Amino acid sequence: MLKLTSYGFISLALCAATTVASASTLLVKTTAPGFVMQEYALYTTCTLDDQGLLIKTSRLNGLSSKKTTVEQFSVVSIRKAIADAATGTIKKPDAQIADMPSTVYQGYYKKAGGKMTKVFLYEDSGAPEQNTYNESASAMTLRNFMDAVCK
C-alpha cells in the first residue's frame, strides 16, 4: 500500500514539474534603481507566462520575496501583440545617461523553428527625452498591460 502511495506522489510531482517546465515566458517587466544607497536599491521583476502565472520578485539589500498568482488572459492576443511589436522600429535617444533608474519591458515569442526571440518594447529611464521605445502601437499596449497586472 505504501508503494502505491509513493508512486502516486512521484507521478504528481513529475506532472507538476512537467507543467512548469513547459511554460513559456510571454512578457517581462524589470526595474532597477540606478545608483543609490544599498538600502534604497530595490530591484523588481514581473513575469507573465503562457500558463497564466504572474510571478513578481523583489530584491532589496539581501532581502527577497516572490509572489505567484494565476491570471486569466488571452494567450493568443498577447502572442499576436508581441509578434506585431517585433516589427516595430526602436527609437533611442542621442545620448543616454548612466546610473539612472530604469524600467524595461520585453516580450518573448517562438519563431517557426521553436527558438525563443526577445522583443524590446520600452525602457523608461525616468526622463522622457532619455527613454528608448518601440514605435509599434502593440508595444505600448503590452507595456500598459504589464503596468496594470504588475501592480
pLDDT at 74: 95
CA distance 127 to 98: 12
Structural domain boundaries in the chain: 23-149
Percent of the chain with pLDDT over 70: 85
Q: Is 73 within 8 Å of 90 (Cβ atoms)?
A: no
Contacts of 119 (CB under 8 A, 6+ apart): 82, 85, 86, 106, 107, 108, 109, 134, 139
Quick one: which of 55, 36, 66 has its CA closest to 126? 36
Q: Helices 75-85 and 137-149 sit at what angle, rounded to 10 degrees?
A: 130
CA distance 109 to 83: 7
Quick one: which of 151, 10, 137 has its CA closest to 82? 137
**Which residues of the chain form beta strands (DSSP E)?**
25-32, 42-49, 53-60, 63-70, 90-91, 102-110, 116-124, 132-134
Whether residue 120 is predicted with pLDDT greater than 90 in this model: the reply is: yes
Mean pLDDT computed over 82-107: 91
Question: What pTM did the predictor assign?
Answer: 0.81
Average pLDDT, the chain: 86
Exposure of 136 in the CB half-sphere (CA atoms within 13 A): 22
Whether residue 9 is predicted with pLDDT greater than 70 in this model: the reply is: no
Whether residue 6 is predicted with pLDDT greater than 80 in this model: the reply is: no
Whether residue 98 is predicted with pLDDT greater than 80 in this model: the reply is: no
pLDDT at 18: 35
pLDDT at 22: 54
CATH number given to 23-149: 3.30.1560
15-60 pLDDT, tens digit per residue, is: 333 334 457 999 999 999 999 999 999 999 999 999 999 999 999 9
Whether residue 151 is predicted with pLDDT greater than 70 in this model: the reply is: yes
